[in-house]
């Protein structure tokens, strides 16, 4: 598996909120500047997995590294079923052919959509389906929740192209960070890529709602050691936590502090913005 090199992707094959595609340039630069010889002897772990985009890029750029993608949200099953997703896209495109793009859908059209989806004889990718019917940034956890929303015609105009080579050479696992990280934390050639859910917010894009609270965050910080790359935003309190340990916990600061930060503004939709951060220490 390690000898394979995946095709390089610039975005995830199917929609995933928070896939970090806007950070790829910075991510690529940081890992190639700090890890030499194609990653020989290194283990790189995408601890919270998500769309697997960072694992894909890490393995392509550092092909000798052992890259582990923790598919906690079972995103790989969405990729295996892209053919079904395209079939459903064709059916719903027909339903929406007379509906104006970007406009609210009538009760009648919404009922037709529900009938098509509930009778569909294949895999239903809820996250992708939501992007066809809800405005950007809206997430749901179940079909029942989806039907409660006001719907709009935001359906994709083209079919998805598949995910050929996306996970080539990458080890895929599915376990909690609490069991995964201790297996690898003793090596100074283990890079943890950490994009955890935000504390105390509903985790609609994740397999389990609200599974990541303050206690989980503190456990994660205890397990984290350099080298690491961690993502946060103004919607999380990671930087505030790091400021706290700088002042009150010298031991934790010695381990996690003196990091570098790359920041950029990200858009949820036309009205909502926030600052995303990539924090790293080698």
The per-residue pLDDT for 202 is 47
Residue 2 lies in a domain: no
54 φ, ψ to 5°? -70, -40
> Are 253 and 140 found together in one domain?
no
Q: Give the model's pLDDT for residue 29.
A: 97
Residue 268: predicted pLDDT: 63
Share of the chain above pLDDT 90, in %: 76
Range of the domain at 83: 79-147
> Helix (H, G, I), strand (E, B), or coil: what is residue 230?
strand
Q: Note the pLDDT tens digit of each residue in 136-189.
A: 778 888 999 999 999 999 999 999 998 999 999 999 999 999 999 999 988 999
User: Around Cβ 252, how many Cβ atoms within 10 Å?
Assistant: 17
Rounded-to-integer distance, Cα 208 and Cα 75, Å: 13
**83 and 69 both lie in a single domain:** no
Within-domain flag for 8: no
| Mean pLDDT computed over 221-242 | 90
Q: Single out the residue in 100, 115, 147 at which a domain terminates.
A: 147
Instruction: Say yes or no: 91 and 196 in one domain.
Output: no
Answer yes or no: is 155 within a domain. Answer: no
Residue 3 lies in a domain: no
Do both 126 and 238 map to the same domain? no
Whether 160 maps to a domain, the answer reads no
The reply to whether 189 and 51 lie within a common domain is yes
Last residue of a domain, one of 147, 175, 197: 147
Return the pLDDT at 127: 93
Q: Residue 280 pairs with which residues in a beta bridge?
A: 229, 260
Asked, for residue 139, whether it belongs to a domain, the answer is yes
CATH of the domain at 58: 3.40.50.150
In this structure, the answer to whether residues 68 and 85 fall within a common structural domain is no
pLDDT class for 63, splitting at 50, 70, 90?
A: very high
* d(C-alpha 282, C-alpha 259), whole Å: 8
**Domain annotation covers residue 15:** no
The edge-to-edge listing of strands for the beta sheet with 260-267 is 171-173, 66-70, 43-46, 190-194, 228-233, 273-281, 260-267
Please tell me whether residues 186 and 275 are part of one structural domain. Answer: yes
Examine the domain organization and report whether 139 and 269 are in the same domain.
Answer: no
Q: Are residues 72 and 140 in the same domain?
A: no
Across 1-5, 92-96, 207-211, which has the greatest mean pLDDT? 92-96
Domain total of the chain: 2
Find out whether 275 and 263 touch, Cβ atoms under 8 Å: yes
Torsion sign, CA atoms 265, 268, 274, 276: negative
Query: To 5 degrees, how large is the angle CA 132–CA 137–CA 142?
Result: 65
How does DSSP assign 13-28, residue by residue?
Answer: SS--TT--GGGHHHHH
Q: Is the pLDDT of residue 214 over 90?
A: no
Mean pLDDT of the chain: 91
Co-location of 247 and 121 in the same domain: no
- Find, among 97, 111, 104, the residue nearest to 150 by Cα: 104
Question: Torsion angle of alpha carbons 128, 130, 134, 136, nearest 10°?
Answer: -50
CA distances from 205 to 88, 211, 237, 256 (A): 21, 12, 19, 28
**Widest distance between CA atoms in the chain:** 63
Asked if the structure places residue 252 within a domain, the reply is yes
**pLDDT tens digit sequence for 6-43:** 999 999 999 987 778 889 999 999 999 999 999 999 99
pLDDT recorded at residue 225: 95
64 lies in the same domain as 96: no
**Are 185 and 242 within one domain?**
yes
- Per-residue pLDDT tens over the stretch 86-137: 999 999 999 999 999 999 999 999 999 999 999 999 999 999 999 999 987 7
pTM > 0.95: no
Across 218-243, average pLDDT: 90
């Amino acid at each position: 598996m390690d000898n394979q090199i995946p095709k390089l992707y610039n975005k995830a094959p199917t929609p995933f909120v928070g896939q970090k595609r806007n950070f790829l340039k910075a991510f690529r630069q940081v890992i190639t500047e700090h890890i030499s010889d194609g990653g020989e002897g290194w283990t790189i772990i995408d601890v919270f997995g998500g769309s697997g985009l960072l694992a894909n890029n890490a393995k392509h750029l550092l092909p000798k590294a052992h890259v582990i993608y923790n598919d906690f949200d079972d995103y790989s099953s969405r990729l295996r079923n892209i053919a079904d997703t395209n079939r459903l896209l064709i059916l719903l495109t027909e339903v929406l052919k007379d509906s104006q793009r970007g406009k609210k859908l009538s009760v009648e059209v919404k009922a037709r959509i529900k009938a098509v989806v509930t009778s569909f004889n294949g895999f239903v990718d809820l996250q992708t389906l939501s992007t066809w019917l809800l405005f950007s940034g809206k997430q749901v956890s179940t079909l029942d929740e989806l039907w409660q929303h006001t719907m709009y015609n935001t359906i994709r105009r083209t079919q998805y192209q598949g995910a050929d080579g996306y996970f080539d050479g990458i080890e895929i696992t599915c376990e909690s960070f609490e069991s995964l990280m201790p297996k690898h934390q003793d090596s100074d050639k283990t890079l943890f890529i950490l994009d955890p859910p935000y504390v105390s917010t509903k985790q609609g894009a994740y397999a389990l709602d609200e599974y990541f609270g303050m206690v989980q965050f503190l456990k994660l910080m205890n397990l984290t050691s350099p080298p690491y790359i961690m993502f946060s935003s103004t919607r999380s309190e990671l930087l505030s936590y790091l400021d706290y340990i700088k002042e009150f916990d010298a031991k934790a600061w010695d381990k996690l502090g003196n990091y570098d930060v790359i920041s950029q503004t990200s858009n949820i939709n036309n009205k909502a913005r926030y600052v995303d951060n990539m924090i790293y220490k080698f």
